[in-house]
Structure 1
Amino acid sequence: MKKVLVFILIGLIIFPNVSIAANQHVMENKDLNEKMTRKELATIGVRLKDLENLVQFYEDKNIFPDVKGWATPYINLAYSFDIMKGTTNDKFEPDANVTYIEFLTVIMRVMGYVDGIDFVKYPEDYYNKALELGLANMYIPYDQTITRGFAYDIITELLTKH
């Protein structure tokens, strides 16, 4: 299961126009040196959980007032299916950069790990769980923002470990 998710994520990050042909908005610029945004991560999480068939039902909802445009249904789905949370109760910050722990947390949630059961205190428990699972590198600060290329490197490393 882990390998399948990793392969899908690699495709989403490296080949967005092939993997995401139906929606060209995600990662419009293929530059791996650019920082990953929260809206991109939400979209990746939704697609990894195979929820994209529900996008049409979440287009008219607007859970977060600061979310507009193409990413709205993906963010709503990511929130509704506990893949991602807002930065506050009424704010998602879709264009904010993704931190290492946010990326790892989404990967773990997609894999089936659950808030309140597998981890409670953010970011400590989440980071420790990622370390325990072999997903994280203890020499990388959990609050470091990541680029698309960095995400690719993490996934490549996962492939060699698992």
Structure 2
Amino acid sequence: MNFIILTVVFFFTITCQCQTNELTTDEFQELKFGGISLSEIKEIKGDSVSFQNLFSKADIIKTGEEPAYWINLISSDYDVYFQGDVKDSCGVVLDSQLIYFKILNGSLNLYMKGYNLAVGDNVSVLKDFNMLTYEDGTKRYVFKLGSQVIRVNFNQKTDIITSLEYVYYH
């Protein structure tokens, strides 16, 4: 009986192994999108003018206030989303957080763990890292530090990177 219990525990442990890759605080500080550090991008706090001074001009700028103030900047190169709800007495949002940054094409790259990754690159450069497989069979590389995640999405037939994403799960 003990053998059966140990066997079940062993197989459960094997099948539940974490398939994400942990980033250290230092590695996270070194992340760069298009040569701009993630911390610099976060410091923009949703200011569309400051953001567009660092990156190409957004083709579409959407804003809203439900469930909290948000701004979405979209170009052919990126899709970026800030959200916040701290306003001053004039109604100006003071503290928007970067929630999402997605690189859509090869004109921007992501520097991470010593690699410069771009849409259109072969994902094989990440072969030494764990790959996450979802229940539907979708695969991607996921790197995380706490509730902040970097996702490397790729075409499973060609192994070509299709997008690079930063997501903050708050």
Greater RCO, CA 8 A, separation 6+:
1
Q: Which has the higher strand share?
A: 2
Select the structure of larger CA radius of gyration: 2
Higher helix proportion (structure 1 or 2): 1
TM more than 0.5: no
Normalising by structure 1, we get a TM-score of 0.29
